[in-house]
Chains A and B, each alone.
Chain A
Amino acid sequence: DADVTQTPRNRITKTGKRIMLECSQTKGHDRMYWYRQDPGLGLRLIYYSFDVKDINKGEISDGYSVSRQAQAKFSLSLESAIPNQTALYFCATHPGTGGPGYGYTFGSGTRLTVV
């Protein structure tokens, strides 16, 4: 099983719908992140969480919300989906300790299309 699991892998939704993307991890990492990836723009940070009670906005949080239900689970919601939220979404984790050279572990991504 993957260390960082994202569901669904692919989703097509209609404009105005609320949608939730889920991320769960078995690495025991405290820190979790949501990024979106668009061609030519790279990965952009949406939200991050350093523990269950800590939620922080990233570069592009407007139109998104998150919930850290447990150390292992971090969900991203689009309150009212719009077409320019069509993108590849990645969840990532980091232990917070283990030295600054420890890279992120990414999930396999969710490809979201808003029509």
Chain B
Amino acid sequence: AQSVSQHNHHVILSEAASLELGCNYSYGGTVNLFWYVQYPGQHLQLLLKYFSGDPLVKGIKGFEAEFIKSKFSFNLRKPSVQWSDTAEYFCAVNAEGNKLVFGAGTILRVKS
């Protein structure tokens, strides 16, 4: 069965620091990969997605993620975080075409 691991549950950064959130999945076949964000008191929204093609995916608000097939990873990055990036981030994988599985989430707090 597919599963998704997010390595850090809590991350605290200062403004302008670089961000990298880890995500690994377990499934040997073709996958579709997603990062979602949930700002405090708000609903989940899609940050970026990977279906095929260029493994470096650009998303909204300056986020990007890199799909490394050999490592079963889809890490989220941002060169310089802002206070407004404080949120919970979820990695998700659809590995069987119809079932979308989420990781446990990473809570990011950016100190101003």
- Do A and B associate with each other? no
